[in-house]
């Protein structure tokens, strides 16, 4: 009987895929909560440094989602490199909070038209924090789960 290979894709590739999916899904969720007026912060803010048309409408949404997907690959690889062995979802929560603080306390000057964190209303702050926590848990739990599963299957293979 032929042995079934459950991990034909390297773990680092899984981390890249996880990061891209998290970035695209997170940005689309961000557009939804912005549209529903839970936050005044639009995910389209990532397009602010570039001038020119095409930032509004569906083209802008798709471009922003792709950019968030690409940026998110970097954050997923950072998690993979530093925290993949952590089993608890609390690490994902902490990662999301740290990312939120970096984006809104350190990186906000890079985006024209943004304000410092405390100048937003409480709904915007809490919605953004919640979204980043969800994002961190998704990346953290997905990468840690795949790592643990890989280790488990590797141990099973060694016992055979």
Tell me: pLDDT of 12 over 80. yes
Residue range 76-94, pLDDT digits in tens: 999 999 999 998 889 999 9
Give burial (CB, 10 Å; 0-12/13-18/19+) of 109: exposed
* pTM recorded for the entire structure: 0.89
Instruction: Using alpha carbons only, give the angle 103, 107, 113 rounded to the nearest 5 degrees.
Output: 100
- Better-predicted residue by pLDDT, 30 or 159: 30
Domain that holds residue 113: 11-159
Both tokens of residue 154? 């590797």
Report the 10 Å Cβ neighbour count for 50. Answer: 11
pLDDT in tens, 111-144: 877 888 889 999 999 999 999 999 999 999 999 9
State how many domains the chain has: 1
Is 1 a member of any domain? no
pLDDT digits (tens, 9 = 90+) for 18-36: 999 999 999 999 999 999 9
Distances (CA, A) of 25 to 55, 66, 67: 19, 10, 12
């Amino acid at each position: 009987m032929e042995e079934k290979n459950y991990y034909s894709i390297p773990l680092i590739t899984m981390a890249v895929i996880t990061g891209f999916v998290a970035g695209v899904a997170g940005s689309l969720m961000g557009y939804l909560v912005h549209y529903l007026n839970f936050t005044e912060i639009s995910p389209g803010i990532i397009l602010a440094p570039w001038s020119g048309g095409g930032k509004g409408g569906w083209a802008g949404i798709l471009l922003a989602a792709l950019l968030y997907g690409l940026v998110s690959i970097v954050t997923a690889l950072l998690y993979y490199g530093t925290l993949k062995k952590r089993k608890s979802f609390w690490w994902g929560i902490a990662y999301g909070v740290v990312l939120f603080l970096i984006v809104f306390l350190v990186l906000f000057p890079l985006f024209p038209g943004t304000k410092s964190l405390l100048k937003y209303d409480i709904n915007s702050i809490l919605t953004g924090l919640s979204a980043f926590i969800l994002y961190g848990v998704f990346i953290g739990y997905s990468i840690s789960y795949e790592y643990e599963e890989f280790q488990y299957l590797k141990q099973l293979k060694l016992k055979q």
